[in-house]
Amino acid sequence: MKARKLAAALRRAGPEIVLTLVAIFVGVSLWQAWAVVSHLRVEAREASRIYARITAALADPEPSGDTETLFELVSEITGSGIPLIVTDTFGQPTAVANLPFELKPGDTRLSEYVRNLDQANPPIAVPGIGQLHFGAHPAQRRLTRLTFLQLGLLIAAIAVGVWAYRSAVTRDRDRLWVAMARESAHQLGTPLMSAGAWVDRLEGSSTPAPEIAGHLRSDLERLHRVAQRFERIGRPAHRDRVGLGTIAERIAAYFEPRLPRHAHSVVIVVDAPAAGPAITGDAVLIEWALEALVRNGVDALSGRGGMVRITVEDKGDRARITVSDDGPGIPAEVRANLFEPGVTTKSGGWGIGLALARRIVEDVHGGHIDIAPSGTGAVFVADLPVAGEGELGD
């Protein structure tokens, strides 16, 4: 249980961990850049000083001046910390400086160390003496360690970022599955409850059987349409000629008997030219998308009453559906992400209806859906390409 809670806490803190690692990486990079610049500045100063010393020694009239200068320069170079080994023509060491270990008589480590130095840096031939074997400057070793530290931080940041991304994708997928399950239950629940109520009426014989049969048939048709909706998921959409006005009237007719009638009454008004402009698409999916927009308006008016208006217009090369309500509107902080799965302004909502509507309108039918600016309430506008003359379904 503790491990599970720790994993959940790490998933939630994933972005902060990545940002922290990136900040450390940037800090180390700046530190390394500063160290390189500082080292180059020091090297330039030391090289200039050595040049000045050699120039002064060459101009010294005293015969021993240049020799003394050379000995001083050798001492300074020895003090730089660079490992140095001078070997004669037979490969025997004649002078050493800055070894990483204390040299003892008969020590066999020296020859191995010389080979390691030669692998990293080719030796320098010294005429009349032999060869000079040298290692890395201490600053180079520090910079190398900094480079490996940078690499480690970068790998850690990438690993944590990938892990956090995969965790977020898994979490969103799980949330989407839960939302889809609740959406399916909601879609099926209304006609099932209605059918159950009509069966109770049939048992009580208070309503004529033909009337009950008509209502039951309507509920069965509704269940059939719901089954068709979920059957369409993951499959190619149908390409039929669809009249948007007809769809709008059908949705209004479905909601009409289920709206509050007394306290806080809600009404749905359809403004569409007969069958309306036709598009080429999937009638089942278009109805699902439009129903989600209407339900959003009806839910916004719950407990306060008002009107939901469905307007269908022919805009030449596109058909426009506008669903507006005079409810409380959409908060500004969620407008940008309102069509994302899981985003909702309703208490207990799962944020799947508007996400489905966008996918149906934009991804399936090549249209566009958005929230329009409004003084009061919420206004959703969906544009869909109209069907060409004589265009038929596949």
| pLDDT score recorded for residue 243 | 92
pLDDT top residue among 98 and 320: 320
Point out which residues pair with 360 in neighbouring strands: none
| pLDDT score recorded for residue 119 | 85
pTM: 0.53
352: pLDDT strictly greater than 80: no
| pLDDT score recorded for residue 183 | 62
Does the residue 292 lie in any domain? yes
pLDDT digits (tens, 9 = 90+) for 190-207: 667 667 776 776 776 666
393: pLDDT strictly greater than 50: no
pLDDT digits (tens, 9 = 90+) for 336-345: 778 876 666 6
| pLDDT score recorded for residue 273 | 82
237: pLDDT strictly greater than 90: no
363: pLDDT strictly greater than 80: yes
| pLDDT score recorded for residue 53 | 56
255: pLDDT strictly greater than 90: no
- Decide: 96 and 111 in contact? Cβ < 8 Å: no
312: pLDDT strictly greater than 60: yes
| pLDDT score recorded for residue 271 | 92
310: pLDDT strictly greater than 90: yes
Does the residue 116 lie in any domain? no
Among 159-163, 193-197, 264-268, 309-313, whose mean pLDDT is lowest? 193-197
| pLDDT score recorded for residue 113 | 83
Does the residue 277 lie in any domain? yes
Mean pLDDT of the chain: 76
380: pLDDT strictly greater than 90: yes
Burial 40-51 (b: 16+ CB within 10 A, else e): eeeeeeeeeeee
Geometric angle at alpha carbon 45, from 40 and 48, rounded to 5°:
120
Does the residue 40 lie in any domain? no
Does the residue 345 lie in any domain? yes
In total, how many domains does the chain have?
1
| pLDDT score recorded for residue 394 | 39
Does the residue 355 lie in any domain? yes
| pLDDT score recorded for residue 286 | 92
Instruction: Tell me what the mean pLDDT of segment 147-176 comes to.
Output: 74
Instruction: Tell me what the mean pLDDT of segment 164-180 comes to.
Output: 66
Residues 6+ apart with CB under 8 A from 251: 287, 290, 291, 294, 310
Structural domain range at position 269: 237-385
The label of the residue with tokens 């940078």 reads 150
pLDDT top residue among 12 and 29: 29
Residue 359 three-state SS: helix
Maximum distance among all Cα pairs of the chain, rounded to whole angstroms: 134
| pLDDT score recorded for residue 338 | 80
Instruction: Tell me what the mean pLDDT of segment 124-149 comes to.
Output: 78
Q: Which parts of the chain fold into alpha helices (H)?
A: 2-12, 14-59, 65-78, 109-120, 138-204, 209-232, 244-255, 283-300, 332-335, 353-358
Does the residue 332 lie in any domain? yes
| pLDDT score recorded for residue 114 | 83
Does the residue 71 lie in any domain? no
If phi over 0 gives left and psi between -120 and 50 gives alpha, with beta otherwise, what is residue 265?
Answer: beta
Which CATH number belongs to the domain containing residue 288 in this structure? 3.30.565.10
244: pLDDT strictly greater than 90: yes
